[in-house]
Amino acid sequence: MKQTSHYLSAALVCAAVCLVGCGPKRAVTTRPTEEPMSLEAAMKLIDTRPDWIGSYPAIIIPRHPAEKFLKGVTIVLDPGHGMSDGNSVEKDPTYKRGPTGVREDDINLRVGLLLHRLLKDAGANVILTRDRDMYLGLKERADIANSAIRPDGGVGADLFISIHHNAVNNPVANYTSVWYHGQVDDAETGLDAARYIAHRLGAAMRTDVGKTSPLLSDQLMYPGGFGVLRACEVPGILLECSFYTQHEEEQRLRDAGYNLREAYAIYEGLCEWAYGGRPTQLTPSVAFSPVGGNQVRLATTLDERLPDWWGRDRTRILQSSVRVNINGKPVPHDFDPVTKQLTATFTLPSRGEPGTTMAIDLEIHFSNMFKHANHPQRYVVEVQPQDWSLTIRPQRVKQARAAATRPASVPATMNVN
Ligand SMILES: [Zn+2]
């Protein structure tokens, strides 16, 4: 009886799914020209699995089924270095070169050009900071992302990706790392993309994953982080795909086919990132409470930015992730999962000095069911002394991160062998 009801409920679920999701069916086969493989033969395949490092499958670069979610996403690709970074190579002929002289800036450019093509084909609004061997300052690179015009008319790229390859005075080190700026709490949106890219890159390039964290803060290297990420006012990450100082890897990196593996892995990571949505919210309304005093009421509507999939009528926002901070301190809030309305009330110690404009830092954090964080997360609320009105504007990422600088520890590359 129990089994019957199980089958019945399974059939009901199936019917319900078909009501909303079934169109005309196409025959789906995995191995269309052969007899079905036996379980025994499938087990035998597992017996003959190749080793991890050094075994590269044939290059296949099909269009990712989720690439449609990249349509209209503004991504700035920054192939690192170029023209051997001004006169650095004149001072040091080995500057950014592998053991046999392969140049990092050339590798970065090939990966960038290939990735540009893959993302353009997917419909992304993709911009290269350089498409040839040329010198470009770090701030100039970041400013291309900061001033990028999005298809929605807004200013600032959705994501900035600086493409690099790593070096260390250790001939065997070869792992993949993706770097974010500052503290994890200040880099939530960039980290959402970084996770997918780091996993895909390490697997595609067969690097020695697990030697260190695939995600690292740039403040582990320098107290102020990497110059290019510091200057970046939009979500930004820096890839160190592998080590050109490792002999075999240097030779692989000369090959545009290998560079295509890298570009394709980043593309796959970006498809998967875009698939999970990029949450945001309406610009919050803020006003002093009509009851008087210094009480402020805030209201906004959260948007998980996921398609109208079946299940859209249930909340797809993790309620435990919703947080409102005023001047760095959490304040009580209410979130209605049905209307997606977020409200908070907080009391200011004063309305500021007469004749001066008082500024308040406001942060709103939440994640959708893919654990993708919202953007923007930070605003400046100003109290105007003339009429006690409140104004609100988004804070650029850089301003919010300035206070978060921590001292550098031992460079991560030095810990690894
Ligand atoms: Zn580099």
Q: What is the pLDDT of residues 321-343, one digit of tens each?
A: 999 999 999 999 999 999 999 99
**Residue at 53 is within a domain:** no
Decide if pLDDT at 11 tops 50: no
Number of C-beta neighbours around residue 61 at 10 A: 13
Which one-letter DSSP state was computed for residue 32?
T
Q: Measured in angstroms, how far is the CA atom of residue 167 from the centroid of ligand 1?
A: 8
The contacts of residue 369 (CB under 8 Å, 6+ apart) are 304, 306, 316, 317, 318
Q: Which of 310, 305, 309, 330 is nearest to 320 (CA)?
A: 330
Q: What pLDDT shows up at residue 29? A: 55
Which of 23-27, 66-70, 202-206, 370-374 is the least confident region? 23-27
Pairwise CA distance, residues 75 & 238, whole Å: 13
Q: Measured in angstroms, how far is the CA atom of residue 301 from the centroid of ligand 1?
A: 41
Are residue 320 and residue 349 in the same domain, yes or no? Answer: yes
Q: What pLDDT shows up at residue 30? A: 60
Q: What pLDDT shows up at residue 17? A: 43
Q: Assign residue 265 the CATH number of its domain.
A: 3.40.630.40
DSSP 156-209: S-SEEEEEEEE--S-TT----EEEESS-GGG-HHHHHHHHHHHHHHHHHHT--T
Are residue 319 and residue 185 in the same domain, yes or no? Answer: no
User: What's the mean pLDDT when you consider all of the chain?
Assistant: 88
Q: Which of 118, 98, 45, 373 is nearest to 247 (CA)?
A: 98
Q: Measured in angstroms, how far is the CA atom of residue 105 from the centroid of ligand 1?
A: 7
Domain carrying residue 377: 280-395
Number of domains in the chain: 2
Residue 218 near residue 225 (C-beta atoms within 8 A): yes
Q: Measured in angstroms, how far is the CA atom of residue 215 from the centroid of ligand 1?
A: 17
Q: Measured in angstroms, how far is the CA atom of residue 166 from the centroid of ligand 1?
A: 6
Pairwise CA distance, residues 343 & 179, whole Å: 34
Q: What pLDDT shows up at residue 13? A: 45
**Residue at 313 is within a domain:** yes
Q: Which helix (H) or strand (E) is 77 found in, with range?
A: strand 74-79
- At 142-197, the pLDDT tens digits run 999 999 999 999 999 999 999 999 999 999 999 999 999 999 998 999 999 999 99
Q: Measured in angstroms, how far is the CA atom of residue 109 from the centroid of ligand 1?
A: 11
Are residue 148 and residue 288 in the same domain, yes or no? Answer: no
Q: Which of 186, 182, 183, 209 is nearest to 198 (CA)?
A: 209
Q: Measured in angstroms, how far is the CA atom of residue 120 from the centroid of ligand 1?
A: 24
Q: Which helix (H) or strand (E) is 142 found in, with range?
A: helix 138-146
Q: Measured in angstroms, how far is the CA atom of residue 238 from the centroid of ligand 1?
A: 9
Q: Measured in angstroms, how far is the CA atom of residue 183 from the centroid of ligand 1?
A: 21
Q: Measured in angstroms, how far is the CA atom of residue 262 from the centroid of ligand 1?
A: 15
**Residue at 26 is within a domain:** no
Q: Measured in angstroms, how far is the CA atom of residue 378 from the centroid of ligand 1?
A: 30
Q: What pLDDT shows up at residue 115? A: 98
The proportion of the chain whose per-residue pLDDT surpasses 90, expressed as a percent, equals: 74
The contacts of residue 36 (CB under 8 Å, 6+ apart) are none
Q: What pLDDT shows up at residue 14? A: 42
Residue 398 — very low, low, confident or very high, per pLDDT cuts 50/70/90? low
Residue 303 near residue 340 (C-beta atoms within 8 A): yes
